[in-house]
Structure 1
């Protein structure tokens, strides 16, 4: 029996070494991150942390667990959640509602999977933040307290997926909550949609990184106060939030139709914005091919996930196969260029930009000056999600 196990192990290793496709890129990426101890509710010093990156990773593990039944993923999520909780069930890890940040709420969906009291206590604490969180005069949540009147695409993914998951689990008949969730998406769309191209940018009809309702930020445009560039990961966050929230928001609520319309508008434009020579997307999408611009991995993976999930769940019609074809080609580029076999049963993931912010000028020079990061969890989790959807495609698609 031991000899048979050794033979099978050597056979798997020889296939991997020969460049054959592994049975599941999603599982390989997830297992690799788990082996590195990523996304477990602890920071690099072993201290509890409330991290949106961990929330995204836990969402990916949850989908894998539901598909495979592999309890390793469920147990890892639970361990990560428990590492952050205090004994009385409240949220530790430095979290405080009065910090008024949307980012921490992305771990919230991990606390809404069960009505067990200690997890509901934590979910209630996150939900209570939304009742006091600062808003623009139109009703958009501020991204953070230090950015008054600013809405960022990132914040939709951080706040609204949790908002929807909580409402579904605990307040499914709360129509005002569903209305508010819809409002967050529509305000962001209306205030950031590119309606024309300025001198240096390409028209894509997609969404700028964010906007300042007060028009006081140095980067705020004269018309709606939007930022000057379309950054791939910000658009990726918003696109994934659309696909995920549509699977939660009741189809009978008018907001479902509103979000469908937005996703159906953006999806073909995202596919069309891929670079024709590589089939993936530029970091700064509004300035393709400009010196120092490059193909960035987290945003690309997010687009693949959102496109395929939207098609698979029937939110986007793709009778011609354009969207699925674009997503498949992009995924192939990913595995050919950004997946690195580490040689020990794990893989590395490359080309994920470390950060993107509207703290400064929000211009091209800012985005391309940010370093990329090996095995950045924002990229790894997004690749798991993209691969999860690729692996849901019919074999003859």
Structure 2
């Protein structure tokens, strides 16, 4: 169906903000089509490409040529004919900049592995990892020079699924690369895992120089929901392609099952998850149920179950969260399109990483960091319900 026809069909919907709307089509394509009508910015930034992947997932599942063409053209527009990522600086090191590699590889693979410019661009990103700044124990810095010797959960998602997918496509026998991929998770687990709650702190400073760094572990003081969401998704995605015969596979799967348990225990009775997840902060003044992590957890649970990584019991956890998202965070506009609510704008370790900092960051409407993962989750939910 053409986008214009989709939007026209949506115009007949009765707008009901903050109430479960009656869908005229699957929520994944409804949200994706709505975002096209909002004319989102297309660039190399990770937010644009998380949103693009959400649109691509919805389009692929429901065979929507308009949406898929949009996502494909968006990625192609970022790469020159000779395979250079437009505006990319190969000597600037930020894990966020690697996230576009997932989108490049998806369309290179799904379109017959014929588009050499996409492969060339992805290869340049992969080669940057070979010279990327690392902590003394081998972890990629989140960004150079701003976050020297720091690893964040966010960065694991930005780099590791791309690193693993690239290796699976082009260097499947590269044991050094596979071991390096699991090392990134090992370091995060060693320094940020809370063995009581089974949750992970936002990040750590291996040099222990940051104002927030724990003097023993180097970890930041709080469990920020979206950081955990990025990490949860990264584990699920990397395990899709990681070789089972490598000893690292069992470690990764163990990290996943432990985290799945911790996230389930942290779920609020409403079905969502608090912005700051560590005790005693859930329910505390200023804290709130946040939408991007709720979407990420839902997606990770559903895909983890579907692909055999997690026990089927977690579908109940995900279903409760999905219902909350439809009721609380999906908003029907007067023109029949959808908007996405309740996503915190940012969370960073560039300050004191205090509770007051996290709850003081504002919310952002139609933020791709939440809407993209909602589309991820919606496609998994729709696959489950129609299987």
Asked if these proteins are the same fold (TM beyond 0.5), I'd say: yes
Task: Report SS of the residue matched to 2:288.
Answer: coil
Asked if residue 328 in structure 1 is aligned to residue 319 in structure 2, the reply is yes
Asked if residue 245 in structure 1 is aligned to residue 260 in structure 2, the reply is no
1:380 corresponds in structure 2 to 371
Aligned residues of 2:21 and 2:332 also touching (Cα < 8 A): no
1:354 corresponds in structure 2 to 345
Residues of 2 paired with 1:178 and 1:66: CA distance? 29
Q: CA deviation at 1:9?
A: 4.5
2:212 corresponds in structure 1 to 219
2:184 corresponds in structure 1 to 184
TM-score normalised over the length of structure 1: 0.88
1:44 corresponds in structure 2 to none
1:38 corresponds in structure 2 to 40
Residues of 1 paired with 2:105 and 2:361: CA distance? 34
1:119 corresponds in structure 2 to 118
Residues of 1 paired with 2:166 and 2:243: CA distance? 13
Task: Report SS of the residue matched to 1:98.
Answer: coil
2:283 corresponds in structure 1 to 289
1:232 corresponds in structure 2 to 225
TM-score normalised over the length of structure 2: 0.91
The alignment's C-alpha RMSD in Å is: 2.1
Residues of 2 paired with 1:9 and 1:159: CA distance? 39
Asked if residue 97 in structure 1 is aligned to residue 93 in structure 2, the reply is no
Instruction: Tell me the matched-pair count.
Output: 370
List alignment gaps of at least 5 residues for structure 1: 42-49, 197-203
Among residues 239, 246, 271, which one is paired with 1:279 in the alignment? 271
Aligned residues of 1:230 and 1:285 also touching (Cα < 8 A): yes
Aligned residues of 2:15 and 2:333 also touching (Cα < 8 A): no
Aligned residues of 1:39 and 1:377 also touching (Cα < 8 A): no
Residues of 2 paired with 1:256 and 1:39: CA distance? 37
2:69 corresponds in structure 1 to 75
In the superposition, relative to structure 1, how do residues 260 and 163 fare at CA in structure 2: closer, same or farther (>3 Å)?
same
In the superposition, relative to structure 1, how do residues 40 and 223 fare at CA in structure 2: closer, same or farther (>3 Å)?
same
1:301 corresponds in structure 2 to 295
Asked if residue 194 in structure 1 is aligned to residue 194 in structure 2, the reply is yes
List alignment gaps of at least 5 residues for structure 2: none
Q: CA deviation at 1:136?
A: 0.8
Among residues 55, 63, 66, which one is paired with 2:57 in the alignment? 63
2:355 corresponds in structure 1 to 364
Residues of 2 paired with 1:188 and 1:57: CA distance? 26
Residues of 2 paired with 1:329 and 1:241: CA distance? 22
Cα shift readout 1:318-349 (whole Å, capped 9, x = no counterpart): 3xx3x211111111111111111013231011
Q: 206-215 vs 119-128, which deviates more?
A: 119-128
Q: CA deviation at 1:15?
A: 7.0
Q: 103-112 vs 82-91, which deviates more?
A: 82-91
In the superposition, relative to structure 1, how do residues 371 and 299 fare at CA in structure 2: closer, same or farther (>3 Å)?
same
Among residues 305, 308, 325, which one is paired with 1:311 in the alignment? 305
Aligned residues of 2:104 and 2:122 also touching (Cα < 8 A): yes
Q: CA deviation at 1:72?
A: 2.1
Q: 25-34 vs 212-221, which deviates more?
A: 25-34
Task: Report SS of the residue matched to 1:384.
Answer: helix
Residues of 1 paired with 2:41 and 2:200: CA distance? 29
Task: Report SS of the residue matched to 1:211.
Answer: strand
1:390 corresponds in structure 2 to 381
The answer to which structure, 1 or 2, has the higher relative contact order (CA under 8 A, 6+ apart) is 2
Q: CA deviation at 1:39?
A: 5.3
Q: 387-396 vs 211-220, which deviates more?
A: 387-396
Q: CA deviation at 1:182?
A: 1.0
1:136 corresponds in structure 2 to 135
Equivalent runs, 1:159-170 vs 2, <5 Å: 159-170=159-170
Residues of 2 paired with 1:70 and 1:101: CA distance? 34
1:45 corresponds in structure 2 to none
Residues of 2 paired with 1:36 and 1:264: CA distance? 38
1:28 corresponds in structure 2 to 30
In the superposition, relative to structure 1, how do residues 168 and 66 fare at CA in structure 2: closer, same or farther (>3 Å)?
farther
Aligned residues of 1:39 and 1:53 also touching (Cα < 8 A): no
Residues of 1 paired with 2:57 and 2:366: CA distance? 20
In the superposition, relative to structure 1, how do residues 106 and 138 fare at CA in structure 2: closer, same or farther (>3 Å)?
same
Task: Report SS of the residue matched to 1:345.
Answer: coil
Aligned residues of 1:38 and 1:377 also touching (Cα < 8 A): no
